[in-house]
Each structure stands twice: as C-alpha cells, then as structure tokens.
C-alpha cells in the first residue's frame, strides 16, 4: 500500500500553474470527443454505497436530492480555479451517436452564476429529455431507455476551486424490479462501469460501506478484473459514523494497513439521513469531529481518514498520471492521425463530378499498369508492394510453371517408352505419398483447388483435377507392328506416308490434356494476380466491385477464352496436320537412333564372344552378316518407323512446348496487346462515358459518410495534437 502524498506536496501541486496545465489538457482532450483514453478519476460503487454523498464532499457540488437523474448516465464534474464564479452544464455525446443527434446534444448548454437547487433540477431534467431517456412528462414511458451512454458535463469555476476532474458513473444494482429497473438496465450499467474502469489511464475510486464485507462487494471484484495488480485503484470506506464496535474498528485498521490495493484505502463520513439541511462545510466539520474521537486515533494517525486527505491524494495522483501519460497520448494521437491520413489518401479526393472521377480512375489505372508491368519484368525492387505481398511476383510463378510444363512433357508426355531410351528418359510411376511427387502437378492441382473461389471461371473451363500418368511400359514395337499391318501399302522396303502421322498422334495423345491443363493453370494464376492487384490498388470495395462487374469481367473472360482457343489451335497443328520439320536436329536424331541400334547389337555379340572364351571362336563378321540378312522386311520397316517416330517426336515436342509458352501463354495471357493484364489502362478510362464514370467512381452515400467521419476524426486528432503540444 502506498503512503499518501505529504500535505506540502499537495498544496504545492494545487497552486502550481504548470500542474494545472496538465490537468486542463486532459479536460480539453475529453471535450474533443475523439475516443482517446484520458487521465481521469472515476467514482464507482453500488446504489447504496454512499457514492453520491462522497462526490458532493469531494467536489462541493450536489445534485438535487430526490431527482435521481444523476445516476442514469455518467457525470463529469470538473473543478477549475478561475476569478469568475460559474456553473456550466453541457452534454458530451456518446461515440456511436448519429450526426443529427450529436449536433443536438452538443447544442445543449446551460449556465448558472450561483448554485440554485431548483434551477439545477430543471436543467438536469431538460438534459435527460435531450438524451432521450425517461424524464419529465415521459418519466413513465417504458419504451424509452432508463440509462444513457451520453455524458453530463458540469464545469464549476471559482477563485477557491482546486483543479480536479471526477467522473461519476451509475451505481451497480443488487436487485431489479424497483423503479422500473430491468435486467437489461442492470447489464447496461455494469457494462458502462466496466468500460470506464478498463481505461488504463483511469484512477478507480471504489466506494463501499465500512460495515460491508469486502470479499462480497461486486464493485471490488470488478475493480480487480480491470486492475489485477491494484496499482490504480483506491478503496473508499464510507459511512464511518455507523461504526461503533471495537471489532469492526480493528478490522478497518487491518484493512487500511494491509490492503492488496497499492493505493490503499481511505475512510470517510457521509452526510447522514437526517442531515439534508446541513451545508457541505458543516458536513466536513462533523467528519473532523468524528475522526478526533479516541476510537479512531490509530486509523487517523495513518493519515487515511477524511475527505480532505482523500482529495489531496487524488489531486496529486491525477497530476502525476497526467504528466506520465502525456508522451504516450501524443504518440497515440500521432499514430492514429497517420493512419487516418493514409486512409484519406487511399480514398483519394472527393469525386462529385466526371472530371474528378476520371482523374481518380486514371491515377489508379496507371498504378495498376505500373505494378503489372513490374511484375511481368521481375522488377521487384522498384516497388515495396512486392516485399509486402510476395504473391504478386507473377513472372516468377509463370516461369516455374512453364519449366514444369516442359519437364512434364519430356518425362510423361509420350504414351509409351521408346526402345533404347536412357534411364533419364524413362519415368517410373509416382505414388501420391512419394516425396519425389512431380512438383508441377502439385502446383497445378493447387491452382485448380483455388479455382472454385472464382465462379466467373466456370464458364471458361471445367475445374477438373489434373493428373498425368507416366508412360506405359507396353512394348512400343508391338504397337508399331500392329499399325504397320493394319495400314501398310504397296511400298517395298519402306513405309507409307500415313504411318508416321498415325503413330505420332497415338504417341502424343497426352499432349492435348497436358497443354490445356497448363493453360488453365496459368489462367488461374493470372486471375489471382489481377484480383489481388485490384484489391491493392482499389481499396474501395464498392468501386472495385463495380469496375469488375461492369467493365473488366467480360473482357477477362474473352481473353482467357482466346488463350484456350489458341492452345487448341496449336494442338491441332501438331496432331492433326502432317508431320513436318526443317530442323536438322531431326536428321541428327534419326542417325543417332540407328547408330545406337547397331551399337546395341554389336554389344550383344561382344558379350556372347566373351562367354565362349576357351571354346570354338565366334566369327563376329559372319554373325553380323547373318544378323542383317536374317531380318525380315517387316522387322526392318518397324525399326525404321520407330527410329523416325522417335526422332520426329523429340523435335515436335520441343517445338510444341516453345510455341505453347510463347503464343498461348506469353502473347495471349501476359504481354500481348489483348492480354488480361492490359485490361485496365489510362486510355480505357479516357474513353469512358460520364455515366460509366459516375457508376464506377462516383461516391455513394456510405462513402460520403465515411469520408465525412474521416475528415471529422482528422480534425479532432489535429486539435488534440495542438492541445498536447501547447
């Protein structure tokens, strides 16, 4: 438990102009209404805890008894030292208040030159009516709320007033039903009390009767929840004049000396039930007389008795808190102001006419073009957006996909393995659980997993999962032999012109599904990129949706359709046209295949020759002649067909991969004049009609409200910053 500030420090704090300025800044921050936590004292307690009487003794201000209205909303009582005497009563609207009602509440202002209980009662009733709660002629209207989140502000100025601000919130209810109080009212009051106590810049004055059991007091439980360490909670034990028994006094002494609250407890005497006619000074005199009695001497010696000692402690605590929190408040206001200015920049200038609307869209379209161009050129260092959102690194993803497509065509694109293929050219079957599962297929399936979130793509292509089986180990020579038997003509020692197209189309049967799946995968990647980039450039969701639905979507679908048609066209050229090439690589491959075949036959003879060592020698020359002469015409033709097919397949596959990536992918989906990435340009915006501009970039009522709220918040934060810097 902390010891109270000494009286000299308290008096010095009371008279110091510098300290007054700290407290006045907190009052001015509250008046601005920007929802920033201010340094303040909040008085909390139950309905019969003596809270109202304590507040009267602390501030010298008393609400007319019997009115009951002061307990239906938070009341901020601000004491200011000023040569002129005045009482000003106004209303601070709640944060979620509508603009119309907020203006009406702010207009409420009443002034008194001296304390007049009757006039004050009328003003309080008028304030309650403006707040819209039960009061005046509507006091029995159950359709109106009993409590309000608005704040009644009472400013008391005078030459003898200390600088102090205290906020009184409605007292907690133990039971409901009396005076029309419902469970909903009880919940609302507790929520209000919790909200004020949760402010980390709040000193909580928890008021409980001296004769109560602290362990059962709800307000102390709430205080512990809001302030677990007890570093900003002061307990106040009221109604000390009702304590007579020595055992109770001993308990109070222990409570004051060994409190878990770091700021400790104070004990005060309240106005008695039959002391309504006594002035505040007379009540304070009775309190001093009580604590001078012998039974109170031990507690009085600690310095924790009386409203005077409590008020001095509160003033010093509040001043220290205000000084300590001022730099944090300034940083908080500056951060919020920076965020608001960023949002305002994102919203852009107000757009009431076609000129401003076109200017806004042109600016954002140019930004879209610039980022898209950097993404295609891999210029990731020129814009921090690529570090913030790595998913926008488009060309890196496309290159990886194209390389995967090429690799897949090489490893799995042929229906059957060729004779004489090296281990590198052969591919074993991949299991789903294999750690070496083909990466490209995983990427393709991930892309197609995203596709259902884009319903607009359903009409472009089916969302089928992609899986490419490895080449079959069925003997390709048997298949070639069957084709030859079924299609041979009168040719002698060679094969007809139909054999290569037939066998090639069969061997390249998987090209079409592989290529189509690749184009669809790239389309999904491009579509994701465009959606993400639009969300980055156009933060206004309504504008983005309108631009998407009315301008971009149909153009995108047409661009994707053209890319798929181009892929079909390229597939058709390869698979439905007669095989053709002028690439010398074909002849090189053919010669290589024939050489490999002879080398394989020679290797067999050499192996057999080594096996007959010590026996009759083998005539290798004779065996070679025998091998060549014993081969039938059909076998020779089958080998020629195989070698020609294998040589042409390699040339055609490399050509097909290149033209597919160059024309269907690069030209139709990335860099071409009609690619999807060129759908939004400044030239397109320049050609928009006024009605299009208004539909897309015009501000709807919600945007105008948001802009107005943002402007008001920026104005309030700037005012707060001026206050904090002054």
Place of tokens 């438990």: 1
Whether residue 627 has pLDDT greater than 90: no
316, 12 contact by CB (below 8 A): no
Which residues on adjacent β-strands are paired with residue 80? 157
Residues 297 and 422 in one domain: no
271, part of any domain: yes
Kindly indicate the confidence band of residue 623, based on its pLDDT and cuts at 50, 70 and 90.
Answer: low
Q: How far apart are CA 69 and CA 152, in angstroms?
A: 10
pLDDT at 371: 96
Winning range, highest mean pLDDT, from 252-256, 302-306, 366-370, 490-494: 366-370
Whether residue 7 has pLDDT greater than 50: no
Kindly indicate the confidence band of residue 600, based on its pLDDT and cuts at 50, 70 and 90.
Answer: low
Q: Considering the chain, what percentage of its residues have pLDDT values greater than 90? A: 34
243, 249 contact by CB (below 8 A): yes
How are strands ordered across the β-sheet holding 40-45?
A: 109-112, 86-92, 151-158, 74-81, 164-168, 40-45, 202-209, 233-238, 265-267
Residues 216 and 121 in one domain: yes
State the residue range of the domain holding 604: 354-698
Q: Which alpha helices (DSSP H) does 349-393 contain, by range? A: 354-377, 385-388
- Burial of 87 from C-beta contacts in 10 A (0-12 / 13-18 / 19+): buried
Tell me the mean pLDDT in the region 398-412. 91
DSSP three-state, residue 313: helix
704, part of any domain: no
Q: How far apart are CA 93 and CA 486, in angstroms?
A: 93
Residues 301 and 378 in one domain: no
Residues 136 and 245 in one domain: yes
Which residues on adjacent β-strands are paired with residue 386? none
Would you say the C-alpha torsion 388, 394, 395, 401 has a positive or negative sign? Answer: positive
Winning range, highest mean pLDDT, from 440-449, 539-548, 623-632: 539-548
pLDDT at 306: 92
pLDDT at 662: 96
Q: How far apart are CA 555 and CA 159, in angstroms?
A: 76
pLDDT at 4: 43
Whether residue 16 has pLDDT greater than 70: no
Residues 360 and 331 in one domain: no
Report pLDDT digits (tens) over 663-718. Answer: 999 999 999 999 999 999 999 999 999 999 999 988 888 888 888 889 989 999 99
Residues 333 and 440 in one domain: no
Tell me the mean pLDDT in the region 251-279. 85
Kindly indicate the confidence band of residue 494, based on its pLDDT and cuts at 50, 70 and 90.
Answer: low
Could you give the count of Cα atoms lying within 13 Å of 490 in the half-sphere of its Cβ? 0
11, part of any domain: yes
Q: Which two tokens stand for residue 383?
A: 């814009």
Q: How far apart are CA 328 and CA 334, in angstroms?
A: 10
pLDDT at 431: 45
Could you give the count of Cα atoms lying within 13 Å of 405 in the half-sphere of its Cβ? 29
Q: How far apart are CA 633 and CA 478, in angstroms?
A: 15
Specify the pTM.
0.58
Whether residue 436 has pLDDT greater than 90: no
Place of tokens 């965020």: 339
Residues 534 and 600 in one domain: yes
Q: How far apart are CA 668 and CA 519, in angstroms?
A: 10
pLDDT at 46: 87
Number of independent structural domains in the chain: 2
pLDDT at 604: 64
What are phi and psi for residue 109, nearest 5 degrees? -155, 125
Q: How far apart are CA 398 and CA 264, in angstroms?
A: 68
Residues 148 and 214 in one domain: yes
64, part of any domain: yes
Kindly indicate the confidence band of residue 9, based on its pLDDT and cuts at 50, 70 and 90.
Answer: very low
pLDDT at 432: 41
Tell me the mean pLDDT in the region 275-282. 84
Kindly indicate the confidence band of residue 389, based on its pLDDT and cuts at 50, 70 and 90.
Answer: very high
pLDDT at 346: 79
- Nearest residue to 438 (alpha-carbon basis) of 472, 401, 463: 401
pLDDT at 491: 62
345, part of any domain: no
Residues 320 and 368 in one domain: no
Q: Which alpha helices (DSSP H) does 451-552 contain, by range? A: 476-487, 499-507, 511-537, 541-547
DSSP three-state, residue 81: strand
Place of tokens 């704040």: 151
What are phi and psi for residue 354, nearest 5 degrees? -60, -35
- Nearest residue to 608 (alpha-carbon basis) of 594, 595, 624: 624
Q: Which string of DSSP letters, residue by residue, matches 555-588? A: HHHHHHHHHHHHHHHHHHHHHHSPP----HHHHH
Q: How far apart are CA 281 and CA 215, in angstroms?
A: 34
2, part of any domain: no
Neighbour tally for 160: CB within 10 Å: 8
Residues 360 and 276 in one domain: no
Residues 635 and 584 in one domain: yes
pLDDT, the chain, mean = 83
Q: What is the dihedral of CA 242, 247, 252, 254, to 10 degrees?
A: 180
- Nearest residue to 635 (alpha-carbon basis) of 609, 603, 601: 601
349, part of any domain: no
- Nearest residue to 271 (alpha-carbon basis) of 260, 286, 256: 286
Whether residue 570 has pLDDT greater than 70: yes
Q: How far apart are CA 331 and CA 87, in angstroms?
A: 34
CATH number at residue 100: 3.40.50.300
Q: Which two tokens stand for residue 156?
A: 């008391």
Report pLDDT digits (tens) over 463-487. Answer: 666 678 888 888 877 887 777 676 7
Q: How far apart are CA 176 and CA 523, in angstroms?
A: 64
- Work out the angle at residue 95's Cα, subtended by the Cα atoms of residues 89 and 97, and round it to the nearest 5 degrees: 85
Residues 511 and 398 in one domain: yes
- Work out the angle at residue 378's Cα, subtended by the Cα atoms of residues 377 and 381, and round it to the nearest 5 degrees: 120
Which residues on adjacent β-strands are paired with residue 76? 153, 167
Kindly indicate the confidence band of residue 15, based on its pLDDT and cuts at 50, 70 and 90.
Answer: very low
347, part of any domain: no
Report pLDDT digits (tens) over 39-78. Answer: 889 999 988 888 888 888 888 877 766 544 446 888 888 8
Listed range (310-314, 346-350, 566-570) with the worst mean pLDDT: 346-350
pLDDT at 6: 43
pLDDT at 103: 87
Kindly indicate the confidence band of residue 608, based on its pLDDT and cuts at 50, 70 and 90.
Answer: low
Q: How far apart are CA 667 and CA 11, in angstroms?
A: 83
pLDDT at 405: 92
Q: Which string of DSSP letters, residue by residue, matches 518-542? A: HHHHHHHHHHHHHHHHHHHH---HH
Report pLDDT digits (tens) over 75-90. Answer: 888 888 888 888 999 9
Within 8 A by CB and 6+ apart from 594, the residues are 643
Within 8 A by CB and 6+ apart from 529, the residues are 375, 391, 392, 394, 677
Q: Which alpha helices (DSSP H) does 577-630 contain, by range? A: 584-611, 620-629
Listed range (158-172, 350-364, 385-399) with the worst mean pLDDT: 158-172
């Amino acid at each position: 438990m902390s010891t109270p500030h000494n009286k000299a420090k308290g008096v010095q704090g009371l008279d110091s102009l510098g300290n007054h300025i700290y407290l006045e800044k907190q009052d001015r921050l509250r008046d601005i209404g920007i929802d920033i936590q201010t340094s303040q004292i909040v008085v909390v307690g139950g309905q019969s805890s003596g809270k109202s009487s304590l507040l009267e003794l602390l501030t010298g201000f008393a609400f007319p008894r019997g009115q009951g209205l002061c307990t239906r909303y938070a009341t901020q009582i601000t004491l200011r030292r000023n040569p002129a005497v005045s009482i000003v009563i106004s209303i601070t609207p709640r944060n979620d208040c509508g603009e119309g009602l907020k203006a009406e509440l702010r207009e409420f202002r009443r002034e008194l030159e001296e304390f007049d209980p009757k006039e004050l009662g009328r003003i309080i009733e008028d304030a309650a009516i403006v707040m819209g709660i039960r009061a005046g002629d509507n006091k029995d209207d159950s359709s109106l709320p009993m409590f309000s989140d608005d704040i009644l502000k009472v400013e008391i100025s005078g030459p003898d007033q200390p600088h102090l601000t205290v906020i009184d919130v409605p007292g907690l209810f133990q039971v409901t039903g009396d005076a029309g109080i419902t469970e909903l009212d009880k919940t609302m009051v507790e929520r209000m009390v919790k909200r004020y106590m949760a402010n980390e810049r709040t000193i909580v004055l928890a008021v409980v009767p001296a004769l109560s059991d602290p362990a059962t007091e709800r307000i102390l439980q709430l205080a512990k929840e809001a302030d677990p360490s007890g570093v900003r909670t002061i307990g106040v034990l009221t109604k000390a004049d009702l304590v007579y028994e020595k055992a109770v006094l001993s308990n109070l002494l222990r409570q004051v000396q060994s409190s878990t609250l770091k700021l400790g407890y104070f004990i005060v005497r309240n106005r008695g039930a039959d002391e309504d006619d006594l002035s505040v000074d007379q009540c304070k005199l009775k309190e001093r007389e009580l604590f001078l009695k012998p039974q109170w001497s031990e507690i009085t010696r600690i310095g924790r008795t009386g409203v005077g000692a409590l008020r001095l402690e509160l003033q010093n605590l509040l001043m220290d808190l205000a000084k300590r929190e001022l730099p944090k408040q300034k940083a908080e206001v500056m951060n919020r102001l920076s965020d608001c200015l960023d949002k305002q920049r994102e919203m852009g200038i107000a757009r009431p006419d076609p000129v401003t609307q076109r200017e806004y869209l042109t600016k954002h379209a140019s930004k879209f073009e610039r980022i898209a161009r950097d993404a295609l050129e891999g210029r990731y260092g020129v814009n921090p957006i690529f570090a913030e959102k790595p998913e926008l690194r488009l060309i890196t993803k496309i290159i990886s996909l194209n390389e995967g497509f090429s690799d897949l065509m090489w490893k799995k694109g042929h229906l059957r393995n060729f004779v004489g293929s090296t281990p590198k050219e052969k591919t074993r079957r991949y299991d789903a659980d294999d750690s070496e599962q083909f990466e490209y297929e995983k990427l393709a399936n991930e892309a197609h997993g995203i596709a259902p979130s884009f319903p607009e793509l359903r009409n472009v292509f089916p969302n089928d999962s992609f899986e490419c089986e490895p080449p079959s180990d069925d003997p390709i020579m048997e298949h070639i032999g069957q084709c030859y038997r079924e299609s041979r003509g009168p040719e002698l020692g060679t094969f007809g012109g139909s054999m290569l197209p037939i066998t090639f189309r069969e061997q390249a049967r998987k090209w079409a599904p592989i290529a189509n799946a690749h184009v669809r995968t790239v389309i999904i990647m491009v579509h994701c990129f465009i959606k993400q980039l639009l969300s980055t450039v156009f933060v206004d969701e309504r504008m983005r949706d309108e631009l998407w639905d009315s301008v971009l979507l149909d153009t995108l679908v047409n661009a994707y359709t053209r890319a798929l048609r181009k892929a079909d066209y390229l597939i058709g050229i390869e698979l439905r046209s007669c095989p053709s090439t002028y690439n010398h690589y074909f002849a090189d491959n053919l010669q290589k295949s024939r050489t490999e075949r002879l080398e394989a036959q020679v290797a067999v003879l050499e192996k057999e020759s080594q096996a007959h060592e010590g026996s009759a020698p083998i005539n290798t020359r004779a065996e070679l002649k025998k091998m060549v002469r014993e081969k039938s015409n059909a076998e020779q033709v089958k080998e020629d067909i195989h070698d020609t097919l294998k040589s042409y397949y390699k040339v055609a596959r490399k050509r097909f991969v290149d033209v597919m990536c160059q024309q269907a992918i690069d030209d139709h989906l990335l860099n071409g004049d009609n690619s999807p990435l060129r759908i939004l340009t400044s030239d397109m915006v320049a050609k928009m009609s006024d009605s299009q501009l208004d539909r897309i970039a015009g501000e709807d009522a919600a945007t105008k409200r948001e802009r107005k709220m943002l402007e008001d918040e920026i104005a309030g934060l700037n005012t707060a910053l001026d206050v904090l810097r002054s």
